[in-house]
Amino acid sequence: MPGRRKYYVYIMTNKWNSVLYTGVTSDLGRRAEVHRSGSAEGFASKYRAKKLVFFETYEDPLAAIAREKQIKAGSSLKKLEPIRGASPGWRDLSGDLLP
């Protein structure tokens, strides 16, 4: 159905790919820009997680939240699996968000 809101689960990292931040949002482009600008307070800003390396799209917000929790509950090694599939070489996927 056109016009349905989408929800995104995403993983950001820093330029050294040594930190992984997982989040959920309904506006991934805006959220990625907040991370890149460093204007968000907290973990992502402190560790300079500015590079989008993974995202999945959902129509159900509860499904997106459940997936975020699943990713966060996993080990760091488990978090690497979706990144390897979505962003070989840890390419910044932010450019993929442009229409």
Which residues, 6 or more positions from 28, have their beta carbon under 8 angstroms from its beta carbon?
A: 8, 10, 52, 55, 97
Number of H helices, E strands in the chain: 4, 3
CATH of the domain at 91: 3.40.1440.10
How far is 51 from 32, CA to CA, in rounded Å? 8
Note whether residue 1 is domain-resident. no
Note whether residue 2 is domain-resident. no
58-93 pLDDT per residue, tens: 999 999 999 999 999 988 888 888 898 888 889 999
Note whether residue 51 is domain-resident. yes
44-53 pLDDT per residue, tens: 778 889 999 9
pLDDT given for residue 88 in this prediction: 82
Rounded mean pLDDT of 21-27? 95
pLDDT given for residue 86 in this prediction: 86
Report the domain count for the chain. Answer: 1
Q: What is the DSSP letter of 60?
A: -
